[in-house]
């Protein structure tokens, strides 16, 4: 965790409403960091449904395996998260650590281990001393607070420079329903998903199949549409919990994808997830620029996505952004190397509102001063028109600076 806050950080934290059925407590177990909280325990009301999306890495962490195996159970009673140690690539010790972690929480809360979800973030390859949780979990069960959203977000940080929170409120059946989320992530960030964790909570009553569908779909345009350094982590976890407490206020459960209220929930969840995803990019290690890359008129949406990511993940593009260099030739390079359909003589490129290239050459009205002025801004939009079809995609990234190298060169020291 850095002591210098990213210049792209939000200027203030949102006011996070309390969600009935969710309680938080944090503690310092001393897993890696001195003098800071590194454990989060969330207790959840009986009947809370859960959905999850995880990394596509073939070298998953023990907590990811644990959570995947328990999603089919359908209900959750607690969430335990630690920072400083990923419990990844730890073999049989990692499996034993998650089992011990769940057992400690189970005994403290008197809830079944299959309803306990776990997540870890931090250094890979170091055994997790789960026995340390025993010294703090009992205290955590007596220190629960339904308003401790900021403390919860801080407890899961690693190289993050600020806690990440987002909220959205909607009307269902004439009552206010809330969706709150927290996240962590700053480096090893790439789609599918990142060294990121996110935990989202709502008081709506939502069946497991609907909950899983909306989470899986909206991950595509949020957490799976960001990249800091093109590296996919072992530990990526997004969990969505629905406590169902809104039923007590007369809000009927949402149990079908055909229910018109599903789209209302989906839109609100998208807002929260995209907000958190953007905050992760804005906290990219060493980041000074937030970059939106839009590719349009590709042969397909998937082709547009691959080209957008080719641009977003290019070190040459990202260092040009860091140097405020309007080097549109690097965009051409990244489009060409993506391996997707592209026609040089139909290609057009914009930096902000400035068209820099068109029909296979520099725009005849190109202005270096105008393009350079765009690159000096904190938020930059790069738009590519392939002129081939109806496919489109938008991804978000940041620049690549010397600070990124310094942070990751010293990560384990």
**Comparing 64-73, 174-183, 399-408, which segment has the lowest mean pLDDT?**
399-408
SS3 readout for the chain: CCCCCCCCCCCCCCCCCCCCCEEEEEECCCCCCCCCCCEEEEEECCCCEEEEEECCCCCCCHHHHHHHHHHHHCECCEEEEEEEECCCCCHHHHHHHHHHHHHHHHHHHCCCHHHEEEEEEEECCCCCCHHHHHHHHHHHHHCCECCCHHHHHHHCCCCCCCCEEEEEEEEECCEEEEEEEEEECCCCECCCCECCEEEEEECCCECHHHHHHHHHHHHHCCHHHECCCCCCCCCCEEEEEECCHHHHHCCCCECCCCCHHHHHHHHHHHHHHHHHHHHHHHCCCCCCCEEEEEEEEECCHHHHHHHHHHHHCCHHHHHHHHCCCCCCHHHHHHHHHCCCCCCHHHCEEEECCEEEEECCEECCCCCHHHHHHHHCCCEEEEEEECCCCCEEEEEEEECCCHHHHHHHHCCCC
Pair 195, 294 in one domain: no
Pair 304, 351 in one domain: yes
Pair 201, 267 in one domain: yes
Pair 182, 86 in one domain: yes
Known catalytic membership, residue 195: yes
Does residue 7 lie in a domain region?
no
- Please give the pLDDT value at position 194: 43
Q: Judge whether 155 and 24 are in contact, CB under 8 Å.
A: no
Where among 239, 261, 282 does a domain terminate? 282
Band the pLDDT of 24: cuts 50, 70, 90.
very high
Give pLDDT tens digits for 199-246: 999 999 999 999 999 999 999 999 999 988 766 666 789 999 999 999
- Please give the pLDDT value at position 34: 78
Does 189 or 307 have the greater pLDDT score? 307
- Please give the pLDDT value at position 191: 44
Pair 378, 239 in one domain: no
Q: Directed axis angle between helix 329-337 and helix 301-312, to 10°?
A: 130
Question: What is the rounded average pLDDT of the residues 34-61?
Answer: 91
- Please give the pLDDT value at position 232: 60
Does 216 or 59 have the greater pLDDT score? 216
Domain that holds residue 327: 290-409
Q: Judge whether 332 and 362 are in contact, CB under 8 Å.
A: no
Is 35's pLDDT higher than 90? no
Q: Judge whether 243 and 123 are in contact, CB under 8 Å.
A: no
Does residue 13 lie in a domain region?
no
Looking at the DSSP assignment, which residues form a beta bridge with residue 102? none
Does residue 262 lie in a domain region?
yes
Band the pLDDT of 341: cuts 50, 70, 90.
very high
Is 89's pLDDT higher than 60? yes
Does residue 1 lie in a domain region?
no
Dihedral, 304, 305, 311, 312 alpha carbons, nearest 10: 150
Q: Residues 6 or more apart from 364 whose CB is under 8 A from it?
A: none
Where among 282, 304, 326 does a domain terminate? 282
> Up-side HSE of residue 298: CA atoms within 13 Å toward CB?
24
Where among 282, 303, 324 does a domain terminate? 282
Q: Judge whether 15 and 165 are in contact, CB under 8 Å.
A: no
Give pLDDT tens digits for 368-400: 999 999 999 999 999 999 999 999 999 999 999
Does residue 14 lie in a domain region?
no
Pair 348, 201 in one domain: no
Of 296, 294, 307, 293, give the one whose Cα is nearest residue 399. Answer: 293
Does residue 17 lie in a domain region?
no
- The tokens of 354 are what? 């400035």
How many of the other CB atoms lie within 10 Å of CB of 302?
12
- The total number of structural domains in the chain stands at 2
- Please give the pLDDT value at position 185: 84
SS3 readout for 260-313: HHHHHHHHHHHHHHHHHHHHHHHCCCCCCCEEEEEEEEECCHHHHHHHHHHHHC
Pair 248, 306 in one domain: no
Pair 372, 229 in one domain: no
* Measured distance CA(126)–CA(91) in Å, rounded: 10
Pair 49, 131 in one domain: yes
**Given 195, 237, 243, 401, the catalytic residue:** 195
* Measured distance CA(401)–CA(285) in Å, rounded: 8
């Amino acid at each position: 965790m850095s002591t210098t806050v990213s210049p792209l950080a939000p200027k203030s934290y949102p006011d996070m409403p309390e969600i009935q059925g969710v309680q938080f407590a944090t503690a310092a177990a001393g897993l890696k960091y001195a003098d800071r909280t590194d454990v989060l325990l969330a207790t959840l009301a009986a009947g809370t449904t859960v959905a999850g999306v995880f990394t596509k890495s073939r070298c998953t962490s023990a907590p990811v395996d644990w959570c995947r195996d328990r999603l089919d159970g359908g209900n959750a009673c607690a969430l335990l998260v630690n920072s400083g140690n990923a419990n990844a690539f730890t073999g049989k010790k990692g499996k034993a650590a998650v089992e011990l972690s769940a057992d400690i929480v189970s005994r403290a809360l008197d809830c079944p281990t299959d309803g306990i979800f776990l997540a870890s973030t931090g250094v890979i390859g170091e055994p997790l001393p789960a026995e340390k949780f025993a010294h703090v979990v009992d205290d955590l069960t007596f220190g629960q607070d339904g308003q401790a959203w900021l403390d919860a977000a801080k407890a899961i940080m690693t190289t993050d420079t600020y806690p990440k929170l987002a909220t959205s409120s909607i009307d269902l059946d004439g009552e206010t329903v809330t969706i709150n989320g927290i996240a962590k992530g700053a480096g090893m960030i790439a789609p599918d998903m990142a060294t990121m964790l996110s935990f989202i909570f709502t008081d709506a009553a939502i069946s497991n199949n609907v909950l899983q569908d909306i989470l899986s779909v909206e991950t595509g345009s949020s957490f799976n549409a960001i990249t800091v350094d093109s590296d996919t982590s072992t530990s990526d976890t997004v969990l969505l919990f629905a406590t169902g407490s809104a039923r007590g206020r007369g809000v009927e459960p949402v149990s079908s994808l055909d229910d018109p209220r599903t789209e209302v929930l989906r839109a609100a969840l998208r807002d929260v997830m995209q907000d958190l995803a953007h905050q992760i990019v804005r906290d990219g290690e060493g980041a000074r620029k937030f970059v939106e890359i839009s590719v349009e008129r590709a042969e397909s949406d998937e082709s547009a996505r691959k080209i957008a990511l080719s641009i977003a993940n290019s070190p040459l593009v990202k260092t040009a952004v860091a140097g405020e260099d309007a080097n549109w030739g690097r965009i051409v390079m990244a489009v060409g190397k993506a391996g997707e359909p592209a026609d040089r003589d139909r290609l057009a490129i914009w930096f902000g509102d400035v068209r820099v290239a068109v029909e296979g050459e520099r725009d005849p009205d190109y202005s270096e001063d105008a393009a350079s002025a765009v690159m000096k801004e904190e938020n930059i939009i790069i738009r590519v028109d392939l002129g081939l079809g109806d496919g489109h995609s938008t991804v978000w990234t940041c620049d690549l600076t010397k600070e990124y190298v310094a942070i990751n060169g010293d990560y384990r020291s």
